[in-house]
Amino acid sequence: MNSLAKASTLSSENISVWFGQRQVLSDVNLVFPANKVTALIGPSGCGKSTFIRTLNRMHELIPGAGLAGSVYLDGKDIYAEDFDAVSVRIKIGMVFQKPNPFPTMTIRDNILSGLRLSGRKIENGDEVVETSLRRASIWNEVKDRLNDQAISLSGGQQQRLCIARSLAMNPQVLLMDEPCSALDPGSTRRIEETIQELSSSMTIVIVTHNMQQAQRVSDQTAFFLADDNTPGGVVEFGATEQIFNGPIDQRTNDYVNGHFG
């Protein structure tokens, strides 16, 4: 068994984001404590996905992107000059909205791809593959076909494979951008169980449009909103219980009860 990296605390300080001249996020201050699951909710276009991409420096890959503010990983600013994007992404893994396994690789190679891509030596590859697939609750389904192409899996299996691929890197933080939006209820339930189990060893941030999902999996919730033609921002942030059962802001109350968005 690999020694698991310790979960880390991640926090954002006054994060503002631009695409070209247009500001899309304004002053987001959030804290993601170690081993907690944080859900980011809000209507489409309010900047949740954009925000989560600033947390592991994927945001800067988009042409015309701009950013102000800081993101701290255990107190260190990941945008500091002596911190490079590659080492940030090794520590902070990401699962995308659409399953994106590498189509030219087998299931096994997909799991090991992170290690290969980051230039690490692979010792006990079989063990890494099994551990990662078990942690993503997909081991039993694929253990007999590890050398099949990854795209032969169903959509739900592909997404869990992508989670396993991130887990093989032993990240301290896992970012999930609507990981279940393209999946059926069964696959969604399995991924939610996986999230619960993973939170014992890492910090998780998940963007979701599914209110029930946010309530089921998260410890704390941030509600994002962008009013017409203004940059998005956090309206309310607190324990999930409080956001859903006793929100302070009227807009939060309207949103979680399905009155808009």
Partner 1 sequence: MEEELMSFAPRPAVQPWARVNTGRRIQILLASIVPILLTAAVILVTGLDRNVALMGVFLPLQLIAASAVGFRAFGRRGVGDAALIVFVVFFATFVLVLLASVVFSLVSQGAQAMSWGFFTQNNRYVSNTTSLEYGGVGHAIIGTLLVVGLTTVVTVPLGIAMAIYLTQSQSKTKGIIRTLTQAISGLPSVVAGLFILSIAITLDWQKSGFLGSMALLPLMLPTIARVAEEALRLVPVDLRYAALALGAPNYRAFFQVILPAAKSGLVTAILLGVARIIGETAPLILTVPINNGTSWNLFSGEIMTLPAYVYNYLGSAFVPSQNRAWGGALVLMILVAILFGATRILSRSKSLKSKPTKEKASK
Hey, what amino acid is at 174?
L
Under DSSP, the state recorded for 249 is: S
**Residue whose CB is less far from partner 1, 48 or 234:** 48
Largest CA distance in the chain: 54
Q: At closest approach, how far in Å is the CB of 242 from partner 1?
A: 32
Q: ∠ CA 29-39-69 to the nearest 5 degrees?
A: 20
Binding mask 168-207 for partner 1 (x = CB under 8 A): -x--------------x-xx--------------------
> What is the helix (H) or strand (E) element at residue 47, kind and residue range?
none
Q: At closest approach, how far in Å is the CB of 135 from partner 1?
A: 16
Q: What is the dihedral of CA 150, 153, 154, 158, to 10 degrees?
A: -40
9 touches partner 1 by CB under 8 A: no
Q: Are 126 and 110 in contact (CB under 8 A)?
A: no
121 touches partner 1 by CB under 8 A: no
Q: Are 142 and 1 in contact (CB under 8 A)?
A: no
56 touches partner 1 by CB under 8 A: yes
**Candidate list 166, 194, 203, 221; residue touching partner 1; CB under 8 A:** 166
**Residue whose CB is less far from partner 1, 75 or 103:** 103
Q: Write phi, then psi, for 159 (nearest 5 degrees).
A: -65, -40
Give the footprint of partner 1 on this chain (CB under 8 A).
56, 58, 61, 63, 86-87, 89-90, 93-94, 96, 98, 100-106, 113-114, 116-119, 147-149, 151-157, 162, 165-166, 169, 184, 186-187
